[in-house]
């Protein structure tokens, strides 16, 4: 059974004789939130433009919600919303006028929808101000509102949180989670601001030089790339570093380090040690050994963030 909602099959595209994407193949299921990650110029935006039918591939086939973007681009654009780098807003019109204008293009007649979206993105009190006077973050939020006017079942978001302050990022991520949970909206996000995607995307596609170099959920990628586990433990052992068990210690470049129960550690705070464990199974063993000799107030994995994974996938060095 083929359940792919978005399907790219061996897609290649060149501009002026230069290959921009090559042999792209991937599937996205309906209702999924997928992060398309890669450095500048790796082909993320080009991939989105191929999917929404703005440009055509030189080779390969693709489907979006059963439509072929090459011949049914209007159909794809009817069921999808897009946010690109340039927000595509009219600066001399106010927020309501912008949404009303684009609403007409999408055939959205319900004026209530505009009020709802302004409220959702906390722009109601700026509704009648010219968009030219908006901050970058406000424009980005209005661009997201514009993309959602016609309640699309699919969203293409190119750097949706760029230019937003931490509060704005949290708000936008919250809205995306909500529409995905309530309406099953499929979301494809391009970004290189990785920590913002953490906890939002269910899986990732890593692009480099126009190719997909890796894909998977965070857990799948962690299993494959992060062989060791770093565990930050707030413990009395960090305080009385020289008295416990079989622990040994040395100071290298000013950082206190040693081993305890055969597991290497470095001191990362007055009450904190960062242990390097061979696998998850060693966590219980370490905590048991620690509790036998001192107190433990907290233990949390470190270095398993998306950025660490990203560099691991790209062949960079691990923390």
Ligand X SMILES: Nc1ncnc2c1ncn2[C@@H]1O[C@H](COP(=O)(O)OP(=O)(O)OP(=O)(O)O)[C@@H](O)[C@H]1O
**In the complex, what is the shortest distance from the CB of residue 192 to ligand X, in angstroms, rounded to a whole number?**
6
Look at residue 209 and give its three-state secondary structure: coil
Closer residue to ligand X, CB minimum distance, 40 or 250: 40
C-beta closer to ligand X: residue 46 or 203:
46
- Rounded to a whole number of angstroms, the minimum distance from the CB of residue 210 to ligand X is 7
Please report how close the Cβ of residue 191 comes to ligand X at its closest, in angstroms.
8
Give the number of other Cβ atoms within 10 Å of residue 16's Cβ: 5
How many angstroms separate the CA atoms of 10 and 26, rounded? 9
Contact 190, 155 (CB under 8 A): no
- Max Cα separation, the chain? 74
The residue behind tokens 């002026």 is: 16
Alpha-carbon span 146 to 78, nearest angstrom: 13
- Note the residues at the interface with ligand X (CB under 6 A): 15-16, 20, 38, 40-46, 192
Comparing CB distances to ligand X, the nearer of 44 and 141 is: 44
> Which candidate, 5, 2, 1, places its Cα nearest to that of 185?
5
Considering the complex, state which of residue 99 and residue 207 has its C-beta at the smaller distance from ligand X.
Answer: 207
Q: Which is nearer to ligand X, 43 or 168 (CB)?
A: 43
Q: Minimum distance between the CB of residue 165 and ligand X, rounded to whole angstroms?
A: 21
Shortest approach of ligand X to residue 211 CB, angstroms? 12
Q: Taking Cα atoms as reference points, which of 182, 184, 305, 293 lies closest to residue 244?
A: 293
């Amino acid at each position: 059974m083929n359940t792919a909602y978005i399907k790219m099959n061996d897609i290649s595209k060149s501009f002026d004789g230069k290959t921009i994407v090559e042999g792209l193949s991937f599937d996205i299921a309906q209702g999924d939130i997928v992060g398309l990650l890669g450095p500048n110029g790796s082909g993320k935006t080009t991939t989105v433009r191929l999917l929404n039918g703005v440009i055509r591939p030189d080779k390969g086939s693709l489907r979006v919600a059963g439509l072929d973007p090459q011949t049914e681009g209007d159909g794809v654009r009817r069921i999808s919303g897009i946010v690109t780098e340039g927000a595509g807003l009219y600066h001399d019109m106010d927020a309501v006028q912008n949404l009303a204008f684009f609403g007409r293009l999408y055939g959205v007649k319900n004026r209530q929808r505009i009020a709802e979206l302004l409220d959702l993105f906390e722009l109601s009190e700026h509704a009648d101000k010219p968009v030219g006077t908006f901050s970058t973050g406000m424009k980005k939020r209005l661009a997201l509102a514009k993309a959602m006017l016609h309640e699309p079942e699919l969203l293409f978001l190119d750097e949706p949180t760029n230019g937003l302050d931490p509060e704005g990022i949290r708000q936008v991520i919250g809205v995306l989670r909500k529409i995905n949970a309530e309406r099953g909206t499929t979301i494809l996000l391009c970004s290189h601001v990785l920590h913002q995607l953490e906890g939002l995307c269910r899986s990732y596609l890593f692009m480099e030089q126009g190719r997909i170099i890796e894909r998977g959920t965070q857990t799948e990628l962690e299993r494959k790339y992060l062989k060791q586990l770093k565990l930050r433990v707030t413990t009395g052992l960090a305080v009385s570093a020289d008295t416990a068990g079989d622990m040994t210690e040395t100071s290298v470049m000013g950082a206190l380090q040693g081993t305890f129960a055969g597991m290497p550690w470095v001191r990362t705070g007055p009450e904190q040690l960062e242990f390097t464990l061979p696998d998850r199974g060693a966590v219980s063993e370490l905590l048991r050994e620690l509790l036998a000799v001192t107190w433990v107030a907290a233990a949390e994995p470190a270095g398993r963030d998306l950025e660490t994974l990203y560099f691991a996938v790209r062949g960079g060095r691990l923390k």
